[in-house]
Every structure is written in structure tokens, then in C-alpha cells.
Chains A and B, each alone.
Chain A
Amino acid sequence: MANGTIAVSEKSFYEESTNKHSGILAWLLTTDHKRIGLMYLYTISGFFIVGVILGLLMRLELIAPGETIVSAQTYNTFFTLHGVIMIFLFIVPGLPAIFGNFFLPIQLGAKDVSFPRLNLLSWYVYMIGAVLVLVSLFLPGGPIDTGWTFYIPYSVRTGTNVSLAIFAAFVLGFSSILTGINFVTTVHRLRAPGMGFFRMPLFIWSIYSTAWIQIIATPIIGITILLVILERAFGVGIFDPALGGDPILYQHLFWIYSHPAVYIMILPAMGVVSEIIPTFARRTIFGYKAIAFSSLAIAFVGYLVWAHHMFTSGISDTARIIFSLLTFIVALPSGVKVFNWVATMYKGSIDPKPPLLWVMAFIVLFSIGGLTGLVVGSLATDIHLHDTYFVVAHFHYVMFGGTGTIFFAALYYWFPKMFGRMYNIKLANWGVGLFFVAFNMLYFPKFILGYMGMPRRYFDYLPEFTDLHVISTVGSWLMGITMIIVFGNIFYSAFKGPKAPRNPWGGVTLEWHTASPPPLENFHEIPTVTREPYDFSQLEEMNDESK
């Protein structure tokens, strides 16, 4: 694929800075996309861990009926914060901001993103948003208790700090838009010589589609949030029916953003899968163009399905039927991807290293999540299942089982490149296995609970639900242990792991043509691309490169 990237033993980006400072300032003022990606990795992981702790606490509360460890009001703030943190601080920015930042320029053969300073600004804007969330917890009024969807009229009437918390979501949206603009421009302007659109790795295609959604959809949530704040502050009747407003309009506006946002979450994950499978099957991807275009198709159709969150809210029947139909259509491009991935593995020489194992877990968990999505996408069944634990199980399967799993897959795939060290493979295998067991133990009972009628967002329940709740809570403990193993392995290896070679997995995209960790401007010489992205016939040549 690339010629002319010769290994010169020179400084890595850790030893060379884009500014004249050293120590922590060199990081805080850096414009290097790799350092910014790492700063996102640290902050986003931090919030993820906070979210997990809140999840564990909620599960502990639910181990027995009645008040166990927290009061009803505290439980309300717990699920709201858990949701807000997981959605706005972890899963939406997660893959693009961390791995997109680190690898998009490298995979394109560029020195950096188009607007490096804007990139740093995005991180600061993200941090400001995060700090605002934290501040809102401690101001008088108390932490927000509306659920992460901030539904009207409750969100206008509750006395908790709704305005500040949702303003934080507004600020976070800005960070998302800036990152999106940066990535679209980078893909259009900074591809290495020879890198046509159809020679771009599929991870880039997915980040590119995602960036478009970020740019086009995010302003809508921004405006909606401002309208809610206006309504709270000045009593303007936009949404609250008591003031003459339309609460369903709020739900429309909220989901016009938040539904495409679930594609912001899942598309980059699908991109990572399309990177990992060819590498560990040693085989070019099956149906490159089909996968690339299905990303765009998902991004487009994903816009048109938002009202499937509102089937029981009182929207018109015509709208319900149309949105249900459109929802089924999204399954098509998603199916295209799954079939292409499986076809890629067919007759490949499969090497079950940890990243591929994470992907296997993903395919199973995400398929369960996707298929149960069709259950709630059908009008008749949704009437029964709406707002029950079935939905809670469904979205944990798609978000955590889907994107969350791929967050770990990406971390375990690119860790040697990012840190120049290798983790403990055996422990990593155990991590995936435990994760899979813990995950199903934690969430599968929720499908059954929901089907039996357990409503979501309740801190108490009828005694007949106890057994399944106990299984789920024990599963959450196992999940806690798994997280310690999975993060512990990475954390320990970042300092103490053995040195990683430049191409530990035998990947062929451009990041494997440069040193681990890469030098400041990624390549000593801008590579010229002469091959398809997943052409494994170059592996032998590449071995010479590193000599």
C-alpha cells in the first residue's frame, strides 16, 4: 500500500511536542491529534467508570423490593446521571473523539487533521460541558431527575437543576459539531497521494458518515435545549400544555437529534469491526463498496425513523405506520454489513486474538440488540413493551453490547500502536470471556422482566420479580470485576508491558506502516498509496520495512 516509509529510529510523539512547553502543559496546549486523542481517552474512560459505578449502585438498590440503599428521589437522579454520562460523555464522543482523532489522519496518510487548533478547542469545549454537568450536581435545587430524555412537562416543572444540566448537553453538542467539521474537511483535503475515496479504510468511511450526522443533527438538540431553558426561565409556552405548548413537539425535536445520535454511536463501531475482521482473517474485506455505502445509507435512513420512540405518546396513526415501516428499512443496510463481515471470515485464516474475540462478542450481542429492536419497532408489540425493562435490555444490548464492546475491541486492537507496548494476551482473553458471561447475566433477565411487565425507572418492584432482579444484580458484580480486569490490563501494560513491534497483528492499513508509537507527524515521509486498503499480499514487503 505504501512505499517509502522507512523505519528510522527516531523520537515518538511522546518525546516530541508541538509546542515549546514540557510536562503537563505540553499536553494541555498540544495540537497533535494523537495527544488530543489520548486526552479524550483518559477523560472519557474516567466518565465511563463513574457511569459504571452509578449503574452498579442502581443494581444494588434493585437487589430486593422496597428501599434498599437509596431513596426514590436519589434513584431518580442516579438513572438520570447514569444516562446523561453514558450517552453524552461516553458513547457519543467515544469512538470518533478517541480513535477517530488518533487514527483518522494516520490512516489517511496525513500529518494531522485539517484544523489542529480547533481540535484542541473541541476537547476544551467537551471538558467545559463535563464540568457543567458536575457543577449542576452540587448547586441548590439538587441533581437533575428527569431521565436522560428530559421529557416535557416534567422537565419544566421539577425544581432540580435542569437548566444547567441540559445547557451542559448543549455545550457538549458544540464539541461534537467542531469535531465533525474537522473530520469532514480532513477526509476531503488531506488524503495522501493515491488515496482515492475507494482506497480509504472502512473505519474512515464510517467516521466520515458519522461526522456528517454530527454536523447536521446536533444543532437541532441545541435549539431544543435552548427552548426548554427559555420555557423554564420565562414561562414561554412552547412545550408545556398548561402554557399552550405542545409536549409532543418536544419529543419530535428531541428524537430528531437523538435518534441519528444512536447512529453516531454505532457507525464508528461498525467501522472498527470492518478493520479488525480483515486483519485477523488475513483476507480482504468482502464487499468493500457495499459496506462503505451502507454506512451512508444508515446515516441517511437513520434520520427518518425518530418517531419510533413515540409510538405510545399520542402521535397520529399515519405517522406511526410510516415510522414503523422506515424503522424496518434501517435493518437492511445493517444486515448488509453483518453478512459482509461473516463472508469476509469465510475461508480466511482466522487468528482469534483478543480484538477479534471482542468483535465476536459484538456480533452476538449487537444482533440480539438489533433483533429485539424490531420487536419494539413493531406497533403492536411496542404498546406492550414500551417503557418496560425490555427497552432497558434492548438499548444496553445495542449501546453497551454494540458500541461499548467495540470501544474495548478498538482499545485492544490499537493499544500497541498508541502506547508502543503490549498487554497480557491471556488476561485479555479472560476479559472478553467474562465480559460475555457477565453481560448476558446482567441484561438478559431484563428482557424477561420487561415482558412480564416490570416498568423502567422504578426503584421498587413487585415481589414476583425478585429472582430475576437478583440474577441481574449478581451479573452486575461480575461485570464490575470484568471492568477491573479489562481496564487494569491496559493500565498496567501502558507502563510495564513489553515493547510492541510496529505491526503486531499483521494489519496492512497505513497505521501499521509507521512506528509504534508513531513519530510526531506520523510518517517520516508522506506515503504514496498504490494498493487497495486490505491487500494482504504486501505483508511480506512490510516485514522488510521494519528492518
Chain B
Amino acid sequence: MHQEETNHHSTGYGTYILVWLALIALTSITVTVAGIDFGMVALAIAMLIAAIKSALVINIFMHIKYEEPIFKVFLLVSGFTIVVIFVLTFLDVVNR
């Protein structure tokens, strides 16, 4: 039953192309920003853009937006793991 419901939400090609264009636009912003000297902020900007891009890919291309809650739980678990790993690695990098 749930299966059918999810199928109703199938996204049209239009959306896919829009998202694709958005991804390309964001990539070019990343590249441009990399050329300007923002210091430590540059990293934060790059991370932010990467986060937006992954959100788009995960939600639209990977259909998570339309899936059952359990998939979101799994995703959160992995997301949380990544955050922890980043924080611990940065404890090294920032204090070196």
C-alpha cells in the first residue's frame, strides 16, 4: 500500500533538470569562491554549499523526501556519524 503512495510522488523530468542546473550553479560558485581569499571562512562557505548540494541530491535524486520514516532515521544516523567524525578530526587540524 505504502509502495503505491510513494509512486504517486514520482518527480517529473522538469524537476530533475532544474535540480541538475542548480547543482551546476552551486559548483561554479564553489569554484569561484575558491579563487577569492576568504581565509578560514572559505572552508565554511565550501562546506555550506556542499551541504546544500547533498541535501538536493539526497531529497530529490535519491527520493528520500518521499520515503518511509525509517530511511530518514538511517540517514540521520549516518549524518550524525559524519558530524562526529568531522568534529574530532578538526580538533586535530585546528589546534595543530
Q: Contact: B91 with A322, CB < 8 Å?
A: yes
23 interchain pairs (CB within 8 A)?
Answer: A216-B78, A216-B81, A248-B92, A252-B89, A252-B92, A256-B85, A256-B89, A303-B84, A303-B85, A304-B84, A307-B88, A314-B96, A315-B96, A316-B92, A316-B94, A316-B96, A317-B95, A318-B92, A318-B95, A319-B91, A319-B92, A319-B95, A323-B88
Within 8 A of B (CB), among A289-339: 303-304, 307, 314-319, 322-323
Distance A216 CA – B95 CA, assembled complex (angstroms): 27
Distance A216 CA – B85 CA, assembled complex (angstroms): 12
Q: Contact: B78 with A322, CB < 8 Å?
A: no
**What 1/0 flags go to B57-96 for Cβ under 8 Å of A?**
0000000000000000000011001001100110111111
Distance A322 CA – B90 CA, assembled complex (angstroms): 12
Which residue of chain A is the closest to B81 with respect to CB atoms? A216
Taking the closest CB of chain B, its distance from the CB of A438, in whole angstroms, is 40
Known: A304-B88, A316-B94, A316-B95. 18 other contacts (CB 8 A): A216-B77, A216-B81, A248-B92, A252-B92, A256-B85, A307-B88, A307-B92, A314-B96, A315-B92, A315-B96, A316-B92, A316-B93, A317-B95, A319-B88, A319-B91, A319-B95, A322-B91, A323-B88
| A contact patch SS | helix
Residues of chain B within 8 A (CB-CB) of A256 are 85, 89
Distance A256 CA – B86 CA, assembled complex (angstroms): 11
Residues of A within 8 A of B (CB): 216, 248, 252, 256, 303-304, 307, 314-319, 322-323
Given A315-B96, A316-B95, A319-B95, is A303 in contact with B81 using a C-beta cutoff of 8 Å?
A: yes
Q: Contact: B77 with A322, CB < 8 Å?
A: no
Taking the closest CB of chain A, its distance from the CB of B5, in whole angstroms, is 20
Residues of chain B within 8 A (CB-CB) of A316 are 91-96
Which residue of chain B is the closest to A313 with respect to CB atoms? B92
Taking the closest CB of chain A, its distance from the CB of B31, in whole angstroms, is 16
Chain B interface residue count, Cβ-Cβ cutoff 8 angstroms: 13
Distance A26 CA – B4 CA, assembled complex (angstroms): 37
Please give me the 10 A-B residue pairs with the lowest Cβ-Cβ distance, nearest first: A316-B95, A319-B92, A318-B95, A316-B96, A315-B92, A319-B91, A316-B92, A252-B89, A216-B81, A318-B91
Distance A319 CA – B91 CA, assembled complex (angstroms): 6
Which residue of chain B is the closest to A315 with respect to CB atoms? B92
Distance A314 CA – B91 CA, assembled complex (angstroms): 13
Which residue of chain A is the closest to B94 with respect to CB atoms? A316
Taking the closest CB of chain A, its distance from the CB of B96, in whole angstroms, is 4
Distance A322 CA – B78 CA, assembled complex (angstroms): 22
Taking the closest CB of chain A, its distance from the CB of B50, in whole angstroms, is 14
Taking the closest CB of chain A, its distance from the CB of B94, in whole angstroms, is 8
Residues of chain B within 8 A (CB-CB) of A317 are 95
Which residue of chain B is the closest to A217 with respect to CB atoms? B81
Residues of chain A within 8 A (CB-CB) of B96 are 314-316
Distance A224 CA – B51 CA, assembled complex (angstroms): 20
Residues of chain B within 8 A (CB-CB) of A307 are 88, 92
Residues of chain A within 8 A (CB-CB) of B95 are 316-319
Which residue of chain A is the closest to B70 with respect to CB atoms? A188
Which residue of chain B is the closest to A323 with respect to CB atoms? B88
Residues of chain A within 8 A (CB-CB) of B85 are 256, 303
Residues of chain A within 8 A (CB-CB) of B84 are 303-304
Distance A319 CA – B95 CA, assembled complex (angstroms): 8
Residues of chain B within 8 A (CB-CB) of A322 are 88, 91
Which residue of chain B is the closest to A326 with respect to CB atoms? B88
Residues of chain B within 8 A (CB-CB) of A304 are 84, 88
Distance A216 CA – B81 CA, assembled complex (angstroms): 8
Taking the closest CB of chain B, its distance from the CB of A190, in whole angstroms, is 16
Taking the closest CB of chain A, its distance from the CB of B92, in whole angstroms, is 4
Residues of chain B within 8 A (CB-CB) of A303 are 81, 84-85
Residues of chain A within 8 A (CB-CB) of B78 are 216
Taking the closest CB of chain A, its distance from the CB of B68, in whole angstroms, is 13
Residues of chain A within 8 A (CB-CB) of B94 are 316
Distance A319 CA – B93 CA, assembled complex (angstroms): 9
Residues of chain A within 8 A (CB-CB) of B92 are 248, 252, 307, 315-316, 318-319
Distance A307 CA – B96 CA, assembled complex (angstroms): 14
Distance A319 CA – B94 CA, assembled complex (angstroms): 10
Within 8 A of A (CB), among B5-45: none
Residues of chain A within 8 A (CB-CB) of B81 are 216, 303
Distance A252 CA – B88 CA, assembled complex (angstroms): 10
Taking the closest CB of chain A, its distance from the CB of B76, in whole angstroms, is 12
Residues of chain B within 8 A (CB-CB) of A318 are 91-92, 95
Taking the closest CB of chain B, its distance from the CB of A418, in whole angstroms, is 33
Residues of chain B within 8 A (CB-CB) of A315 are 92, 96
Distance A303 CA – B80 CA, assembled complex (angstroms): 12
Taking the closest CB of chain B, its distance from the CB of A472, in whole angstroms, is 36
Distance A323 CA – B96 CA, assembled complex (angstroms): 15
Residues of chain A within 8 A (CB-CB) of B89 are 252, 256
**Which of A315, A317, A319, A323 gathers most chain B CB within 10 Å?**
A319
Taking the closest CB of chain B, its distance from the CB of A329, in whole angstroms, is 13
Taking the closest CB of chain A, its distance from the CB of B78, in whole angstroms, is 6
Residues of chain B within 8 A (CB-CB) of A248 are 92
Distance A57 CA – B91 CA, assembled complex (angstroms): 42
Residues of chain A within 8 A (CB-CB) of B93 are 316
Taking the closest CB of chain B, its distance from the CB of A219, in whole angstroms, is 9
Distance A323 CA – B92 CA, assembled complex (angstroms): 10
